Every structure is written in structure tokens, then in C-alpha cells.
Structure 1
Amino acid sequence: MDHHPRPPQMRDSWFAPISIDLLLKVLNVTIFHPFIAWLVPLCFRAEHMDYDATPMRLTIAWAFAVTMVWMGNMMSHKIAYGMPREVDLSEDVIVVTGGASGLGLLIAEVYGMRGATVAVLDTADLEATDARGITYYKCDVSDKAQIAKAAADIERDLGLPTILINNAAEVVGKKLLDMEAEEVERSISTNLLSHFYTIKQFLPGMLRNETGGTIVTVSSVIGHLGSAQLSDYAAAKAGVTALHKSLAAELYEMPEIKTILVTPGQLSTPLFRGVKSPHPFIAPVVEPVDVAKEIIAAIDMGLSDHIAMPLYARWVDWYNVLPVGVQRIARRFSGIDQGMKTFVGRKGNVASGEKATLI
């Protein structure tokens, strides 16, 4: 008999799909888009409205402002990340850690179906890899010896890896005092140290490659905020984010190596089953397919980037600028420290000691 607690049943209201992110998407393809913004004064002009008329002046000023902001964003990205590298999926070899489920599997399957060479590293079994265009290697990424062996096997079987997607992670889901030392060590090794191991293993080959390579770091917004019952995970993700930024600084004079940092909020996967999201309008649950689309687009274009979803994840750094009293109010309002109380996850009651991959 299954004694695992069932997640709370939540009844969606008719406006549940509406969020601030959805409204922003609509605005970005309408009045905040330069093409649409310039259409309005052009329509006025087509009706023979004088240039000195108030509606014409206002719409031209708006279109000009939108265009300047759009161009400024493009220039800022070029200054920060430089020119794109050449990407040829027929030549690139993609390594995805934690690719047997969730976001990692989704990315691996998309590239596999597109004919790319994909290697998945995971401890969980992955079936029907041939149908998915994926080569599976059983590997515990917290063990640097297993990573070294997997890297040698990949280079022998598929070629020199040029794209690394560090996605593997796990969460204990307990309060700090309830965790065993072994659980803390396992969590930190999987969530943080594995990034050091894989980068040190695969980066030298990317540097030897004529067209360079891409390193994708899947972190989390929790690394910026912290959360009750996620002390191990939050600490590791904060370290992962710092590692990525430091690595990008070290690679500044090597523009052929691109780095992509991903800091999503709560993902809509079975691994988050039961997590309470009290403010879906401000902090909506993110669909893995949306994150995967952004990651794949950045990789395909040969860009470095910072992908943060949903909207609040892009502005989370401003949280630390707020007065401490306001920060406390914001935490209570968001319910961030209460969400894990109802966490069930894929394997059932994580609080009883089971572990589950989070991303």
C-alpha cells in the first residue's frame, strides 16, 4: 500500500493561465515592438495627418523611444557577450548531464530528433535511446572518476564534445538540522562539484576545437533567494551561479567559448509535485518546454546569454537592494519559505529521506 501523502488538490480558476509574464509577452509583440510602434504614425500619415498634429508627434516619439531601447538592448548584449560562434549541429557533440528526465531529457530529445549527436549522462536508466537519437552513458556526475571514463567513451564513440549542458541536480528536501552529513555531501557534490568536474573534463577539448564550444549552466532563482527546506540546494545553486560568472570572466579573451546561465523559477515537472505557488500571477510556474526553447535558441545562434524565467527571476537581484524589513515582508507575501511543506516530488515523501532530482 502506498503511504506517501498526496499533494494538495488545487482547483484552477478561469484566470489561472493569466500572469504578468503572459501580459508582457503580448506587449512585447505589440506596442513594445518597433515594427508595430512605427505602424501607428504611418497609418496616421496615410490618412494625411500633419506631422505637427499631437497624435502624430506622440506616436512618433513613442516609436522612436521603443526603437532606441530595442537597439540599446542589442548593443548591450554584443558588448557583454561579443559575436556569436559558428554552430554546425552535424559537427557538434552535445553532452547533457541529468538528461534521463525533465528539462535535460527534453533538450536531449529535441537535438536527437534534429539529427544532432547527443550524449546523456545520468544514473537513472533511459530506454529507447536509438529512437530518440540519444546515446546514453550511465554516470554519477558527483564522481569525477566516472565522468573521466564517460568522457573517454564519448570521445571514442561520438567525437570530441563541443556543447556541455550541466543540468543534473538533486534535492534532499529536509530542514538543515534534519539532514544527515552524508546527505549534505551528496547534494553539494551533485549540485555544485559536478560542474567543476565536467567543465574541467570537457573545456580543454572545446578550446582545441576550431569553432569553440558552449557551456550551459542550469542554476536556479533559489540560489539568489534561499528557501526553507532547501538549504543544501540553495547553497549549491548560489555557488553554481558564482562559478559560471567567474568562468565567463576567465574566458573573456576566448570569444569562441560561449557561456549560457539559466536561472529558472519553479518548473512544471513531476519533481515539483506538491510545491505550493501562492502567487501564480506574479510568480507563475514555468513550463520546461519554454525554458528548453530559450536554451536551444541561444545554443543554435552561438550566443552567450543569461536566461531567467519567469519575469521576477530577471529582477531578483534587486531583492537584496530592498531594506531588510521590506525583504521580510516580501518573503511572507511570496510564500517562498512555505512552499516545500507540501512537497511530494516524483518519488513520494522526500521528507522521509528519499532523494529526487529537481531539474
Structure 2
Amino acid sequence: MSTPFTTPPQRDSWFAPLSIDLLVKVLRTSFFHPFIAWIVPLCFRAQNMHWDATPMLVSIGWAAFISLCWIFGTINNRLAFGLPREVDLSEEVIVITGGASGLGLLIAEVYGMRGATVAVLDIKDMENGEARGVTYYKCDVTDKDEVARVAAQIEIDLGTPTVLINNAAIVNGKRLLDLDIAEIEKSLSTNLLSHFYTLKAFLPALARSEVGGTVVTISSVIGQTGAARLTDYAAAKGGITALHKSLAAELRESHPQIRTVLVTPGQISTPLFYGVQTPNAFLAPVVEPVDVAKEIIKAIDNGHNAAIGTPLYARWIEWYNVLPLGVQAVVRRIAGVDTAMKTFVGRNGTKMSEKNGGLIQGF
């Protein structure tokens, strides 16, 4: 039986929106931006300060250092991700799994309003009933035959798919000892095997598309760190991260016109993890779906290969596994990663008991 459960209290205060991500964003557009950095020595020169004065030399050195960092960053991205493909939204057919709600629905609505052709695959009806430019297909992504059938129908109805966004996910939120085999199989089928099914169904179409294509994989930092009550989810997310990296390596050799985008977010403010409270809103803020959607849409629009991590700690999470094991244990306790799921609630606002089913939907 599920027990009534109220949402954990929110941290309402004047500094609630303040986070390390916000500070870094401000610094990147001010103190750490080459344009701003070079304004400082120019201002000194406008005051008739000599070129060999200490403030002038320090400011020039700082501006040169920041400029070199930006140049090296650009070169690094070019070496890592190559040249972008040309994207014309009027020619794009975008397929989104788990797109009936949350992050998937947001991306679908944005592209639908911008004139792209969008197909949403989901086992449940769309939250908003319908959206401009979006065609809904009822599809269980854990059924490979159904995925293949819907893929063929999309090509007939909408044209050759050019973008595949694998977004469908399920969360059980139980300890391994309380999961039954059927729940484990359902979780792995939805969170991992479905990626193989959709890739096998849609990747051939992306490969023969004249405008190229883009594959977007929505993973999670949990795939790198693991977490209590998320054994099945973490195993699947770690698997799709490895799947994506291997696929990207294959496509660079066989189909260089196809771009790949790996998204590894932290906790997103969607019903998938409803009720889970971040232990530190400053260092590990909950990410709004619109912020993740903007990064994904930017990568697709620009035709880039990309690796998207948000918030800030998600971009550095792989370094966690380099730390000594003792330090890792301390970090886990401080972060509260293994206790966060204790406040996890279902979509109906009831606490998930050990015998309840999981929450199934897209991010």
C-alpha cells in the first residue's frame, strides 16, 4: 500500500537561485571573457598609463591568457567533434522517444513551432493533447517489432528521419532486494535495450538522408556514480553512455555525416524524480528542463557533435572516479547521493513503498 506523502519543503530564500553554475556563467561573460579582459588595458591606456606600468602589464597578461584559453577551447572542440553539418529545419524530421511529457515534450513543442517535422513516440498520450507540428505515435519502445513498425510508418507519413532523440526512461526507486525480476527486466528494456531497438530502426534512415543526421542520447550522471535505490537505473544509464561513445566511434568511420550528442544531466526538475531533494542547491542545483532543452536544441541546430553536461558538476563527474576510494566515500556522504531517493514520490504524489511499481515516462 502506498502512504500519503507531502513534497519535501523547498528552500525558499533570497539566495535560493544562487548556485555555482550561475556564478560561473556570470564570470564567463565578464571576467573570463576575452572581450571584457581586453577592455581593462584599453581603459588604462585611455588614462595615459604607460605600457610598462605594473597594472598595464598584469591586465595585458591576463587578457592574453584568457584569449589563449578560448582559442585552445575552440581547437579542442574542433579536434573532438569535427566540422558541423548543415541544418535546415524545413528538411528535418525529428523523432523523440518518451516525448509525451517533460523534457521530450518541451523539445518537441519548440521544434514543432519552428517549422520542423516532429514525431513523438510514447506509450502514454501527450500531456497537452496535441502540439503544433508534432505527430504522436503510440509506441512501446521496449517492443522491437512495434518500434520497427512505427519507424516504417513515420517514413511513409513524414519522410526520412534525420534526428533521433532517445529520451524515454523509467525509474523504480527501490532497493535491489525489493526489486522483482520483472521490474528489473522492464527497467533495462526501457532504459537500455530500447536504445538498440530505436537505433536499429532509425539509424539506416539517418545514414541515407541527404542532409545527414543527428543521434541524441539522454543519459545521466548516475551512470557514472551509481546511487542507492537506483541500481537498475544506474546500470542502464552507464550502459547507454558506453553505447553512445562506441556508436560515435563507429559513425566517425562509416558515416561521418551523422552527428552524435551525448547528454549527461544531473537531477532535472521533471516528474521522473519528483520528490527528490538536492542536498546542496549551490553546488548541485536541480536543472530546469528548459535549460537542458536549450543546450540540446543548440547542438542540433548547429549540426555539432557534442557532449552536454549540466549543471557544472556533471561536466566534471568523470574525475570523481579518479579520486581515492576513501575520498569518494566522503564525497558521497557529503553529497547525499545515497539518501536522496528516500524522498522519491510517484507521479500521483504518494511515496513509493517498497512494493510499488516504478514511474515510467520521458525526462
The alignment's TM-score, normalised by the length of structure 2, stands at: 0.96
SS for the counterpart of 2:108 is: helix
* Map 1:151-166 → 2, pairs under 5 A: 151-166=151-166
- Is 1:12 aligned to 2:15, yes or no? no
Mapped to 2, the partners of 1:135 and 1:10 lie a distance apart of 37
SS for the counterpart of 1:252 is: helix
Residue of structure 2 equivalent to 1:332: 333
Alpha-carbon deviation of 1:272?
2.2
Deviation string 1:29-73 (CA, Å, 9 cap, x unpaired) is: 001111111111111112221111111111111111101110111
* Map 1:110-259 → 2, pairs under 5 A: 110-126=110-126, 131-253=131-253, 254-259=255-260
Mapped to 1, the partners of 2:6 and 2:149 lie a distance apart of 40
Structure 2: segments with no counterpart, 5+ residues: none
Deviation string 1:227-270 (CA, Å, 9 cap, x unpaired) is: 00000000000000000000011111232110000000001123
Matched residue type, 2:301: D
SS for the counterpart of 1:220 is: coil
Alpha-carbon deviation of 1:128?
5.6
Matched residue pairs, number? 359
Mapped to 1, the partners of 2:195 and 2:79 lie a distance apart of 26
Instruction: Tell me, yes or no, if the aligned pair for 1:129 and 1:136 is still in contact at 8 Å.
Output: no
Matched residue type, 2:325: V
Instruction: Tell me, yes or no, if the aligned pair for 2:104 and 2:362 is still in contact at 8 Å.
Output: no
Instruction: Tell me, yes or no, if the aligned pair for 2:97 and 2:362 is still in contact at 8 Å.
Output: no
Residue of structure 2 equivalent to 1:310: 311
SS for the counterpart of 2:262 is: strand
Structure 1 pair 353–127 and aligned structure 2 pair: CA distance change class (3 A): closer
Mapped to 1, the partners of 2:128 and 2:269 lie a distance apart of 24
Structure with more of its chain in strand, by fraction: 2
The alignment's TM-score, normalised by the length of structure 1, stands at: 0.97
Mapped to 2, the partners of 1:201 and 1:358 lie a distance apart of 19
* Map 1:264-343 → 2, pairs under 5 A: 264-343=265-344
Mapped to 2, the partners of 1:210 and 1:144 lie a distance apart of 26
Aligned-residue CA RMSD (Å)? 1.5
Instruction: Tell me, yes or no, if the aligned pair for 1:82 and 1:255 is still in contact at 8 Å.
Output: no
- Is 1:349 aligned to 2:351, yes or no? yes
Deviation string 1:288-342 (CA, Å, 9 cap, x unpaired) is: 1000000000000000000000111111111111111110000000000000001
Alpha-carbon deviation of 1:126?
1.6
Structure 1: segments with no counterpart, 5+ residues: none
SS for the counterpart of 1:90 is: helix
Mapped to 2, the partners of 1:244 and 1:76 lie a distance apart of 20
Residue of structure 1 equivalent to 2:264: 263
